[in-house]
Amino acid sequence: MRIENWAFVIRGDSYSAPEQLTQHLTGNVFGHTRHEDRKFVETSTVEQIDLENGIVITRNSTYILGTPDSKWVEWISKNDSRWLEKLKKDRKSVV
């Protein structure tokens, strides 16, 4: 299944130890067996990220990455340029 307008989010609270934080993918899904196309979802915990091939594997599903959310890309570019550089390099400039 494909996910468009995606972004990575971290879940936890200010009292969580770093190893207790979980990473999730949010966005609009297409081709999901339980959701209508374009439905906004938050995935189960991300287990593997393969930006070079545009694939994210979560605890329950595998997603093909479409276009990232522009506001997330803007935030990443201001706050963590390593992500943006990796996206540009691995995704052949989709951002």
Provide the residue-wise pLDDT of the chain in tens; the chain has 95 residues. 999 999 998 888 888 888 888 889 999 999 999 999 999 999 999 999 888 899 999 999 999 999 999 998 888 888 876 666 666 555 543 44
- Please tell me the distance from the alpha carbon of residue 36 to that of residue 34, in angstroms, as a whole number: 7
Residue 26 CB burial class (10 angstroms; 0-12, 13-18, ≥19):
middle
pLDDT in tens, 53-70: 999 999 999 999 999 999
The pLDDT assigned to 86 comes to 63
The residues near 2 (Cβ < 8 Å, ≥ 6 apart) are 29, 30, 31, 63, 64, 65, 66
Q: What is the DSSP string of 18-76?
A: GGG-EEEEEEEEES-SSS-TTEEEE-S-EEEEETTTTEEEESS-EEEE-SBPHHHHHHH
Task: Tell me phi and psi for residue 86, to 5 degrees.
Answer: -65, -40
Predicted TM-score (pTM) of this structure: 0.79
